[in-house]
Amino acid sequence: MSSADINKIAGALLTALLTVTVIGHFGNALIHPHELEEAVYRIDIGETVADTDEEEEEEELAPIAPLLAGADVAAGEKLTTRRCGACHGFNAGGPNKVGPNLHGIVGRDVAAGAGFSYSDALTEMSGAWGYEELNGFILKPKDYAPGTKMAFAGLKKEGDRALIIAYLRSISDAAPPLPAE
């Protein structure tokens, strides 16, 4: 490429930049926008976080037992594989991934999966993973176990949580019986 070609390209770019700048200034001179004193269309956002009472009690989590009795295990397997499969394995004796292998999780002590380094939030918990414990954890892991390393935001739909728990129950040899409704 010759220096004349480079000069032509540079000249074209400078001309385009100058044209855009002049048109912008000319357009602003023709149109004088003015700010409204008050919004024409108000959006009611309701009560904001700052307006709420800090001592307000959290909503009670509905029991998952009634949904577990009729949950479709095959649908639960599909949902679990899709939502949890990237981080968890489900085969007996399978390897841990980013998260622990979940085979046998229902009825197993919290943070007791072999070969996985659990967060302090889980190792400090006692007890076993029952149906209601899993329900609360799957809803919002960070709220159920503050400080957990699990980055999953959670599942709001209780039907989806029931499907996942039903599937996890089906791959757990020591799963407790379903609670009475």
pLDDT digits (tens, 9 = 90+) for 131-159: 999 999 999 999 999 999 999 999 999 99
Q: Which domain holds residue 98?
A: 65-170
- Residues 23 and 80 occupy one common structural domain: no
Q: Which of 143, 134, 138 is nearest to 176 (CA)?
A: 134
Within 8 A by CB and 6+ apart from 54, the residues are none
In a domain, 42, yes or no: no
Q: What is the pLDDT of residues 106-135, one digit of tens each?
A: 999 999 999 999 999 999 999 999 999 999
In a domain, 117, yes or no: yes
In a domain, 98, yes or no: yes
Domain count, the chain: 2
The pTM of this model reads 0.67
Alpha-helical segments (H) within 31-140: 65-69, 73-84, 120-123, 131-139
- Residues 25 and 72 occupy one common structural domain: no
- Residues 70 and 156 occupy one common structural domain: yes
Please report the sign of the dihedral spanned by the C-alpha atoms of residue 170, residue 171, residue 176, residue 181: negative
- Residues 96 and 153 occupy one common structural domain: yes
Q: Does the pLDDT value for residue 55 go beyond 50?
A: no
In a domain, 70, yes or no: yes
- Token match 């999953």: residue? 152
